Structures are given as C-alpha cells and as structure tokens.
Amino acid sequence: MADRKYKREWLAMLTPGAGKTIFALYVAATLKQMGVIYRVAVYVPSDSLRQQWADVASVFGLELLPVRFPSDYNDHDSDGFVATYAQMNPAGADRAARAITSAPTLAILDEVHHLGDDKTWGAGTQRALAHAENILMLTGTPWRSDDARIPWCSYDEETGRVQVDFAYEYGNAVADSVCRAVEIHAYDGQARYLDNATEVTKSLKDTSKGRELGKMFNAVFDPAQQWTPMLLEKAHRLLVDRRRDVPDAGGLVVTDNKETAKAIATLLTRISGEEPTVVISEDEDAVAKLDAFRHDGSKLWLVAIRMVSEGVDVPRLMVGCYLSRWKTPLFFRQYVGRFVRTRAECPPHYDAHIIIPAVSVLMELSTEIEQELRDQLDRFDDDELDADDDTGPAGRETAASIPEQRQEAAAQAAAQAVAEQAELFDIDGNPTCETDRASRDTVILEAGGAAFYRSDRRGIGQSAEIYLPGHQACIDHNIPTTYARNMAELLVKQRPAPPDTSAPATTATPVLPAYKKKDMIRAEVDRHVDRLARMQSRRVGNDSKQERGRRQVTINTDLMRRFGARPDCTTSTLKRILDHLATEIRKEAARDLTRHGKPRVR
C-alpha cells in the first residue's frame, strides 16, 4: 500500500479463522508508523465485533473507539473508530466522512461481502469512504448470495468472479498450523410423508432440492422426531470425548428459528444434564451471552440462529451440529470457520468435528473444502522436498540438524490429507467406510541452529532474541503464530529505552484501551452530576428524589450550554466537564463549611 500509491483499494481473501483481524491491524500499525496514514476506520457487520476489534487493536498500539456516540467518529484522543455497516445511515455516513477527510485514513472493511453496490449498507459506506487514503477489504468468502456487486472490487469479464489481491486459503492455513483440520460427518435419514394422498419414502442423500427437500427438512429437523435427538446425542458424545484432551472444548448447534432453537436447547439439557446457552439476535443480552460463553470453559453447548456464522471469535468451539436449512456456500463456509481457530491451549493436531445432514449440496461443499485441503498439503509436501535439495551452506546446515523434524512434517501432511474427509453414515450412525487416523505431532519451529529461527516455512531468518518474544506474544494474546515474525518486528520497534538501574523499580500499570478510558470518564461525569445535585438539594433543605432530579436536569442543561451535547463530546471535552464539576463541588463544599462550621458528611 505504501509503495503502490496508484492503487487505493485492496481485497484480501483469508479463510475464516486465519486471522483477518490480526493481518489488517498489523498493516494499519505499520502504515501509521511509516506516516502513510494517521487514522484508521474499521467497519464490521455486527455490534458484537466492534469491541472485539478495538481490544485487539490495542495490542498493536492502536486506540480505536467502538462507535456508540457521535463524538467517537472524530475523537482526537484516539487513532480512529470501529463502526458497523448498519450505522452508515445518512447521518452516520456524514460524520464518518468528516472524520476520514480530516486526516489520511486507512479504511478496513471486515466481511466486505455484506456490501452491495445498490444496497443501503453499500451506498452509505461508499459515501463515507469517498476520501479515504486506502481501503483494505477483508473476506473469507468473496461472493454474495444475490447478483449485487461488491463495491470497489474488480470482476473478471469472462467468469464474473471477484479478483483478489491476496489470497490465503484453508489449505494454506492448515499446512501452516494457523487453522486446525475439521472432520465433517454426514448422516443420512429417511422420512415418510403424504404427497397428494400418496405415501412417499425418501432419504436425504437422494433428495437434492425443491419442494421435496423442504418436506424432508420439515420431517428430520423436527425435534419431536427421532433424527434430531439422535444427532445431538452423537454430537454430545464427540464433545465429551474431545473434552478429555481439551477440558474447555465447546459445541455449537446452528438452526433457523427461535422455536426450534429453544426445542433443541431442551433436548441438549436432557442429554448433557446442563442447560445450554441460547443466543438469539433479537434478544437484548445476546452479545453478553455470547461473550460469557466465550470465556466460561465450563459451558458445554451454544445454540444460535445465524448469529455466530461469521466474524465472532470463540476459539474453544470444537464440535458442531449443523441443523439449518441454509445451503449457500457463503453461510456453510462461515459456519465451518467457527471451528478452525487454533490456540495455545489446544494444539492444531486436535481436529474439530462437524455433523451435517447428508444433503447433496452440503456434501458437495464439504468435498470442495476437503479437495482444497488435499491440494495445498500436496504442494506443501513438494515444497518440503525441494527445500531438502538446497545445496547452499545454510541449506546443508538446516537439513543436517533437523532430519527427524522433516520426517514428522511429512507424516503430518499425509495424515492431515484425510482430516476433512466427509464420511457418510447411515441412520444408525455406522460409517460406510472406515478411515484410519495416524497420530501426528506438529512442528511449530524449524531451527538450523540455536540462534536461528524461521517464523514460517518460507520466512526470513531472525535471531532467537528477536523472534522468541514475538512468538510468545502471539501465544499470550491468542494470535496465530504465523504472525510471530511480524509481531517480533513490531515489538522491536516499540521497545522502550533501557531502564535507569539507579532508579527504584516500579510496578507497571496495565494500559486501558482508549474506549474504556472514555467510558470511565463518562461514568465519572455522571457520578459528579449526581453528587453535585445531592449537595445542592441538601443546601435548600429538600433532599427528596424529585428535587435531586430537578437539580440534575438543571446541571446537565448548564453543561450542554457550556460544552455541547454529551454524546458529541470527545475525551478531552469530557475531561474539561469533569474538571468543571469538580470545581463546582468544591465551591458547594465551601458554602456548606461557611454555614455549618464544618463539612457535612456526604
């Protein structure tokens, strides 16, 4: 972006779970450090992602404010903002455009396939970003389910497909240990129903589309029938087995409507003995429920209606049950992406499991994912063999020092080639063919010597004292270790000057993200207003709730006249309000001291 200034819009396709957030924020932090941009504007498809992006941005030294008030767009005490596409109504788009025009800005569009040229979100976002310095678009599925084109994207004239500038697909991610492999188990089922007074018996794998498939779904997805409880029991057994190795592993069931979700939750309660977390987007506490499940490893199951289909990071998910009628490639790949994330507590060779109905379209999508994985692992195996043929001094030293690691890597590639095979089961759960699974270890680092490390299999060498802190920082912050080299470089640039050994040691205070600081100041302003209103009420001898309410209205009206509406106040303005209120409280305390000879207890 810094070198090719003639190109403003960039599209990066990264498979779900590969770390789009980390990739984009590293780019933003680097461009800001180079002076190419001064501010960052991030756009996300849902409310739950705003705070998530702001939290991760603080790891890279970027203070982004999740937009909840108009002042958050252009608060000069921050490095930018995180807004949703839905906030790009005319008023929101105008505020965002003014903020972006005020300084060179990099715009990051997460899950950009949500935008359409002639759609409301697309039109508002295009209006807001008309003067952005650069636009970085992110997606794991660069297509839409309708015919609308994605703004700023180039399309191939013949095929009509989106042209991407950078691609990192699922096979690459598994080969690099950035994502885990997923085993997809397809279960067939039979249904008998009446069609024009004729009894019809059909199986899922023999029914591809249309009205017949709809009737099949109505039958097999009915929680009162045998098929759904049977699948949930098998999924729970898989989860219990996985939790023996990964104690906080969780499961996700996705369905279509609120009634079915609640019925599934009842079944899971009976099967597991524990009430699952049910997340319905219409509920006000949906985001809080999802966040609580993410951090509470004792919770077993999450039941959701599309809400966790993309972008939401719940790394402990390892077992899924797909009980949805949605058959689009976009939704299915996003759902699979919920299970591929790796983390330090769970090595990549612990595969995830997803149970799906044996519908032909879902089987085809599973086969595509499997083939993508096979192709990449075959290429990775060839690259490893080519690397062994290196006759240079460094190549001879590396090959001589890690022969066992080479063999383990080849064994891992061969074993992972079947990791995502979509197996077909009959209604009793018996696989039609058995697949032997080889045990395998994961090579995290390849070392040619004690002081030479490679951040990935094609990376540039770094000394241990530079690379290892970056690798550890990735583990500490739940960042894929593929970014260890980039993190190491960033830590070197941000490394503080050596401490003065003559000064006494002090304990470092954790730095809060800018949006949390602003929330704390706003809450402190509210407490000062309440305290001042209480003091004034007591001075006139009427400490009733009604009198305090009137005093609060008077104080807030005066503050709005002096400093503007509270939602429009930046962090620095809120600090000025806080100072003003503190002064008024001191004056009120002085009046009280003059009347009573000593300050009253408040």
Residue 570 one-letter amino acid: T
H-helix segments, 129-184: 170-175
Query: pLDDT value at position 493?
Result: 75
373: confidence class by pLDDT, cuts 50, 70, 90:
low
Query: pLDDT value at position 511?
Result: 65
pLDDT digits (tens, 9 = 90+) for 312-354: 678 889 999 998 887 777 778 778 888 887 777 676 567 888 9
Residues 513 and 189: their CA atoms lie apart, in Å, by 51
Q: Is the pLDDT of residue 81 over 90?
A: yes
**Cβ within 8 Å of residue 108, ≥6 positions away:** 24, 25, 28, 40, 41, 42, 43, 136, 138
Would you identify the CATH topology of the domain 9-168? Rossmann fold (3.40.50)
User: Can you list the pairs that 517-520 forms with residues at least 24 positions away whose Cβ atoms lie under 8 Å?
Assistant: 517/571, 518/65, 518/72, 518/75, 518/77, 518/571, 518/574
pLDDT digits (tens, 9 = 90+) for 47-74: 878 888 998 898 888 999 999 998 899 8
Residues 565 and 561: their CA atoms lie apart, in Å, by 8
Q: Give the residue, 564 or 377, on which the prediction is more confident.
A: 564
Residues 207 and 212: their CA atoms lie apart, in Å, by 7
447: confidence class by pLDDT, cuts 50, 70, 90:
very low
Residues 500 and 498: their CA atoms lie apart, in Å, by 7
Q: Is the backbone of residue 177 left (phi > 0), alpha (psi -120 to 50) or beta?
A: left
Q: Is the pLDDT of residue 139 over 90?
A: no
Residues 425 and 432: their CA atoms lie apart, in Å, by 6
pLDDT digits (tens, 9 = 90+) for 250-266: 999 998 888 888 899 99
Nearest to 422 by CA among 205, 186, 179, 181: 186
Q: Look-up: residue for tokens 């180039």?
A: 154
Q: Is the pLDDT of residue 160 over 90?
A: no
Q: Look-up: residue for tokens 């209006």?
A: 127
Query: pLDDT value at position 270?
Result: 93
Maximum C-alpha span of the chain: 96
pLDDT digits (tens, 9 = 90+) for 537-578: 888 888 888 888 999 999 999 998 898 888 888 888 999 999
Query: pLDDT value at position 396?
Result: 32
CA distances from 14 to 176, 351, 376 (A): 13, 20, 14
Q: Is the pLDDT of residue 444 over 60?
A: no
Q: If you ran DSSP here, which 8-state letter would residue 404 be given?
A: H
Residues 2 and 6: their CA atoms lie apart, in Å, by 10
Range of weakest confidence among 38-42, 260-264, 440-444, 475-479:
440-444
Query: pLDDT value at position 192?
Result: 67
Please, which residues bridge with residue 240 across strands? Answer: none
Range of weakest confidence among 353-367, 381-395, 524-538, 588-602:
381-395
Judge whether 331 and 161 are in contact, CB under 8 Å.
no
Residues 50 and 86: their CA atoms lie apart, in Å, by 12
Angle of helix 20-34 relative to helix 48-59, nearest 10 degrees, comes to 50
Q: Give the residue, 444 or 258, on which the prediction is more confident.
A: 258
SS3 label, residue 220: helix
Domain boundaries, the chain: 9-168, 182-359, 444-494, 514-596
- Percent of the chain whose pLDDT exceeds 70: 71
User: At CA 212, angle to CA 210 and CA 213, rounded to 5?
Assistant: 70
Query: pLDDT value at position 417?
Result: 36
Residues 296 and 300: their CA atoms lie apart, in Å, by 9
| The token pair that represents 52 in the structure block | 């998530």
Residues 154 and 11: their CA atoms lie apart, in Å, by 9
Q: Is the pLDDT of residue 236 over 90?
A: yes
Pairing of strands 317-322, 447-449: unpaired
Homologous superfamily of 182-359 in CATH?
Answer: P-loop containing nucleotide triphosphate hydrolases (3.40.50.300)
Query: pLDDT value at position 107?
Result: 94
The pLDDT of 395-401, averaged and rounded, is 32
User: Can you list the pairs that 465-474 forms with residues at least 24 positions away whose Cβ atoms lie under 8 Å?
Assistant: 466/492, 471/445
Query: pLDDT value at position 206?
Result: 67
Range of weakest confidence among 27-36, 346-355, 411-420, 526-535:
411-420
The pLDDT of 139-148, averaged and rounded, is 73
Q: Give the residue, 205 or 429, on which the prediction is more confident.
A: 205
Pairing of strands 452-454, 134-139: unpaired
579: confidence class by pLDDT, cuts 50, 70, 90:
very high
Same fold, 9-168 and 182-359: yes
